[in-house]
Amino acid sequence: MGVLDDVYEMLNTCNKCGGCHTACKTYKLTGAEEKSPRGRIQLIKAVADGRLELDQEYEDAIMSCLLCGECAVACPNGVHGNELVMAARRDLKLRKGIKPFAKSFALKTLASPKRLGRGFSLFGGMGKSVLNKIDGLDYFRGIDIRNFPTAKKPFLEQVEEKITVKHPKHKVAFYVGCFLNYSLDQTAHSVVKVLTKNDCEVIIPKDQVCCGLPQYAYGDFETAKRNARKTIDTFLDKYSDAEVILSACGSCVAMLKNDYLELFADEPSYLPKVKIFSEKMVEFSEYMAKIGVDQSKLHNSSPLTVTYHDPCHMVRGLKVTTQPRQLLQMIPRVEYKEMFEANRCCGASGLVQAFYHELSTDITGQKTQNIKDTNADLVATTCPACMLRLQGGINKAGQKQKVMHVADIMANAYED
């Protein structure tokens, strides 16, 4: 049985009604049937039936999908087009490998802390110096590389493994994730500050690795499994006394909590451990809303208008939508304004933004216009990849809003 054989029944469940067209950003922008969920499903079915070769047009159709999951919500038959695209990507990986080389290299780099650390160090040092000397090279494939933040040293090297408080009520293990470790280290500090201000002892394992989501999304289950097993064993074997395992990246949490169960579904001997890990996994805003925040400790010197962007993995993967908004509205002198299509994709979508940058740039442009229409001072979100994408898009559009993690806005409201 091949990968596509396993999803063949779902492929046949699509009744070709086209209801998914209204939800699909790539279709609405291009008008191309092969860039719609219905079109992609029919292409995958043709490959499964042996009627279509794995040519470049097919690969482009499959690889340009945002995996945002909006088609699954819109489908009256409950067909999950994003899951079928994932199966097609896995099939492509097994039959042809991951191409082009740049994508394969990027995925291997992301999977290795040493490679990733060297990459960020090089980019943040010599790389930025070179960029500053090249006129006009502000954006590369729609990514704001000149203003792309890099930590002077990884967050995991800046902090102790255990951060204690006087009267601990909770014990939390913090899964940091790649972007907070190497790029947005201040946000990682904000997470720790908010936790400790709310009487949480924080454990930060030093030997953390990428959650495996980038590799998983492109069909490299073998690499994703290695990182997943390392993550599970690190947190459960060494820090089993932690009440929860928390992350401030919605994408990481969706992978750690949900996709690990799918990844290890074929390993019944290890699956019980995965289930324990999954049950402990929680997203930052969800956890803070659950344990309760002492609002008397929150202060804000000047009024702020804040809007919120729902990351795809948060709104459709974790179903966490109200908690970030609740936390924002707890902060004194914050006026919250909902933006139009707050729960639509921002255009980041992992490596799609690099390899299908014209699509991503158009999607980001729509989002930045929606942000502008709110007249907000700040844009809050709960995914580091979205933070970077949105800030780059705002900069490119010449707008003035600053993008911050919910944890950053909360941390700023606590007096030191």
Q: What is the DSSP string of 351-415?
A: THHHHSHHHHHHHHHHHHHHHHHHT-SEEEES-HHHHHHHHHHHHHTT---EEEEHHHHHHHTB-
- Is 183 contained in some domain? no
Cα torsion 281, 291, 390, 114: sign:
negative
Angstrom distances, CA of residue 166 to CA of 192, 195, 198, 407: 15, 13, 11, 22
- Is 312 contained in some domain? yes
Residue-level pLDDT at 14: 94
Bridge partners, 405 (sequence order): 381
Model confidence band, residue 137 (pLDDT cutoffs 50, 70, 90):
very low
Residue-level pLDDT at 294: 84
Q: Which of these, 396, 407, 405, lies nearest to 142 by C-alpha position?
A: 396
- Is 25 contained in some domain? yes
Gap between the Cα atoms of 348 and 307, Å rounded: 19
% of residues, the chain, pLDDT over 70: 94
Whole-number mean pLDDT of the chain?
92
For residue 100, whether the previous peptide bond is cis, meaning omega lies within 30 degrees of 0, is: yes
Q: Which of the listed residues 40, 69, 96 is the one where a domain comes to its end?
A: 96
**Whole domain around residue 76: which residue ranges?**
3-96
- CB 332, CB 324: distance < 8 Å: no
- Is 68 contained in some domain? yes
Per residue in 114-135, pLDDT tens? 888 887 777 655 445 545 555 5
Angstrom distances, CA of residue 159 to CA of 151, 162, 192, 209: 13, 8, 10, 16
- Is 20 contained in some domain? yes
Here the CATH number for the domain that contains residue 370 is 3.40.50.11810
Per residue in 228-276, pLDDT tens? 999 999 999 989 999 999 999 999 999 999 999 999 999 999 999 999 9
Gap between the Cα atoms of 108 and 223, Å rounded: 8
pTM flag (> 0.95): no
Here the CATH number for the domain that contains residue 70 is 1.10.1060.10
Q: Which of the listed residues 72, 96, 120 is the one where a domain comes to its end?
A: 96
Gap between the Cα atoms of 313 and 322, Å rounded: 14
Residue-level pLDDT at 147: 76
